Amino acid sequence: MLWRRLSLPLLLITLLPAACGGGAAEPGDIPPPPTDALATAQAEVAVTISPVPATPTVAPTLPPPAVVSPQVTAAPPTPEVTPTPDTIVLAADAGAFVGRNPLTGEEVTDPAALQRRPIAVKLSNAPADYTRPQAGLNDADIIFEHWTEGAVTRFTALFYDTVPPNVGPVRSARLIDLELPAMYDAMLAFSGASVGVNQRLNASDFSDRLLRAAEPGFYRTGDTTKPFEHTLYIRLDQLWQAIENKGLNIPPTFGTYNAFTEVPPEGGSPASKVLIDYKTEKVEWVWDEEIGKFRRWMDFEEHVDANTEEQVTAANVIFLTPYHVNDANICEQINNGVCAALSIEIQLWGSGPAIVFRDGQQFDVTWHREGRNDQLTFTDAEGNPFPLQIGNTWVQLVPGYLPNSLTVEP
């Protein structure tokens, strides 16, 4: 089939060699990718990390959004969809989601589930032999996949109204996890973090919502065929009870909302296959008309949910290229006393171009996050809220400096 290339404006990031601050990284936390793959990725993106001078210099970056009290403001009208008796149109407003999950637009079987706080869980994705298939992916409302040091990806999965039996493997947090719990008023469940990331999490405005491995609900599988760090899982029902016991299991407050429609808006173009190239890892989403969702492949193999052994699917796949900047003060990986990998700050605030894939089509949109407590939302070319398809969403965060990272087949 004939493939065509799409490219978003690539944002040039200056990656600075600098010193590692804050002490040693979490022991054994980051298994390096295969040597040949990592070397290829590093050669392609021309990233070199050198031992650091005593006083690092950090390039200016965009300031984070101000901490504001969440409030819902009147949104522009959702793009007009001619309704039929069976068509669902949900405006980008809190009042549209009575009895529905505002993260997916789906009706909930138990309205009491919306009275608890969402949980963001940090999940590993590499090495594949130890981490895949992950448990709980198809029950997450939103999953953010992002690049980490070592040119591999990691997930942060948000759970709200659905309780899978197991979620994991749970791994350590990254700088992106300073943003996601604030966006969705969520708890953050993770195995640990480097010294520098831990310090920032502990100083964050949601420091009371951090859930580490000692909490009830975390457990080890006892699988001796895998390294110990890949054996940590969660039972969400027990974790929510632990949150209840802390007095923190309260309904979330969202600063902004997405619109949802069953019928796609006008202006899309066909997108039957979407290939996202992280260089050492490749993601493919293939539209399945029969189920009305995209099916996911990872490194050319079906990506399945370990709980059900069913292939991972998504109603929405969103491609973003926010700024990725090395933080010279946080070292994520130390080899022989030398910093081998700095922590990556993904600047998911402000606004920028994005592509939404839904209903086997692609739509060019603008993403927004103006306030710290705002969800990630989207507008069309006229500035109206762009509606997502009702259902779960995968957000693919890709460095703008990766060449040819997106390929779409009509």
pLDDT at 86: 60
3-state SS track over 252-298: CCCCCCCCEECCCCCCCEECCEEEEECCCCEEEEEEECCCCEEEEEE
Per-residue pLDDT of 314-345, as tens digits, reads: 999 999 999 999 999 999 999 999 999 999 99
Is pLDDT above 70 for 3?
A: no
Residue range 215-226: mean pLDDT, rounded = 97
Q: How confident is the model at residue 40 (pLDDT cuts 50, 70, 90)?
A: very low
Q: What is the pLDDT of residue 60?
A: 43
The mean per-residue pLDDT over the stretch 92-101 comes to: 94
Spatial contact of 19 and 53, defined as CB atoms under 8 Å apart: yes
Residue 8, pLDDT score? 32
Q: Which of 278, 312, 321, 319 has the alpha carbon at shortest distance from 293?
A: 312
**CATH class (in words) of the domain with range 89-409:** alpha beta
User: For position 87, what pLDDT does the model report?
Assistant: 76
What is the Cα–Cα distance from 166 to 145, expressed in whole angstroms? 19
Summary mean pLDDT of the chain = 85
- Sign, CA dihedral 124-316-359-266, equals negative
Nearest CA to 128 out of 284, 276, 299, 283 is that of 299
Residue 34 has pLDDT above 50, yes or no: no
pTM assigned to the model: 0.82
pLDDT single digits (tens) 113-138: 999 999 999 999 999 999 999 999 99
| Dihedral, 203, 145, 113, 215 alpha carbons, nearest 10 | -50
CA distance 169 to 165: 13
pLDDT in tens, 228-273: 999 999 999 999 999 999 999 999 999 999 999 999 999 999 999 9
CA distance 40 to 326: 19
**Which tens digit of pLDDT belongs to each residue from 337-381?**
999 999 999 999 999 999 999 999 999 999 999 999 999 999 999
* pLDDT exceeds cutoff 80 at 287: yes
Distance (Å) of CA 376 to CA 34, 174, 199, 215, 273: 34, 18, 25, 29, 24
Contacts of 35 (CB under 8 A, 6+ apart): none
pLDDT band at 50 (very low <50, low <70, confident <90, very high): very low
Could you report the per-residue pLDDT of 67-80, keeping only the tens digit for each? Answer: 433 333 344 444 44
Beta partners for residue 159, in sequence order: 119
350-358 and 361-369 beta bridge pairing: antiparallel
pLDDT digits (tens, 9 = 90+) for 154-188: 999 999 999 999 999 999 999 999 999 999 999 99
User: Is the pLDDT confidence value at 12 over 90?
Assistant: no
Residues across the chain: 410
Please check the confidence at residue 4 and state whether its pLDDT lies above 50.
no
